[in-house]
Chain A
Amino acid sequence: MSAAKPIRPMQLFGFSWFAVTLVVLILGFRSAIFIVPADAQQGDVGRSFFYHVPHSMWSLLFPYINFAASLAFLYWRHRNPLKALTADALAVASAEVTVVYATICLATGSVWGKAAWGIWWTWDPRITSMLLLWLLYVAYLITRKLSSAGQTSTLGAVLSIFAAVDVPIVYMSIRWWRTQHPAPVFGGGADSGVDPSMMPAFIWNVIGWGMWGIFILCYRFALERRRQIAEQDAALRALESSLELTQ
């Protein structure tokens, strides 16, 4: 009979973070559905706000982790290859989380738009620039998947620098151009802001989805590091066996 493996401090921290995140998300759901009154103009469909907006906000923050990790990779790739590999793992994890959050932002926005405006899609600057952001990070992941070994990380890192340029454009689009998409809810001048009754549900969901994003980012990062280590071990074993053959 084998002894059970002891739980490491990082695992314990991960489980605790996961549990607290679920509690915050449940509180956010309860607040958004059962406590906040229905929107005066849109009715219950206005509750989409509590999911669409937090995901949109986080989908503009995760690309910066990808950007910083890509810069770190380019800086370290000749100086310190081990640190560069770690930065590369963080870059790919943050790009995937960006795609997840941007997908939810676009899809929930489309469903909400159909109910509120009567259309699924419009080529509005905010929506179009968000679609472009999604396409750039999908292209980043496809490039990494299809490029030949040895070039993958460098190509990805260069592409991610161009992709990050779109983030401030998405953020500023509703400030520069006023079209179909609503004006900024926060930081948009004197007329921006939400009714105080909506704030607790909004804050719970921003924190909850942020915590979830950080959790999934760390989990995906750990997975990528394990994959890198497994690949290094396999390469080392192959090298050792080829040396044995030549002797």
Chain B
Amino acid sequence: MTWQSFFNTSTMASRHLLAVYAIVILVQAGYFGWTVWQWQSLKDRD
């Protein structure tokens, strides 16, 4: 597989593979970002 075929959304299979990666990145980065934001908010209150 290449970068081009990874981002190729012409077939259902490649769209779904891309969606799997997007879910992983969004959920993990979202939770990490929320934790960092909470950490900073608490730091600003101190």
Contact = CB atoms under 8 A, between A and B. Distances in A.
* B contact residues, range: 20 to 34
Residue among B24, B38, B46 with max Cβ neighbours from chain A (10 Å):
B24
B8 to A, nearest CB: 9
B2 A34 contact: yes
* A contact residues, range: 20 to 34
B5 interface: yes
Interface string B24-35: 100110011001
Contacts of B14: 44-45
Interface in B1-46: 1-2, 5-6, 12-14, 16-17, 19-21, 23-24, 27-28, 31-32, 35, 38-39, 42, 45-46
A102 B12 CA distance: 24
15 contacts: A33-B1, A34-B2, A44-B5, A44-B14, A45-B14, A45-B17, A55-B24, A108-B23, A111-B16, A111-B19, A216-B35, A223-B42, A227-B42, A230-B42, A230-B46
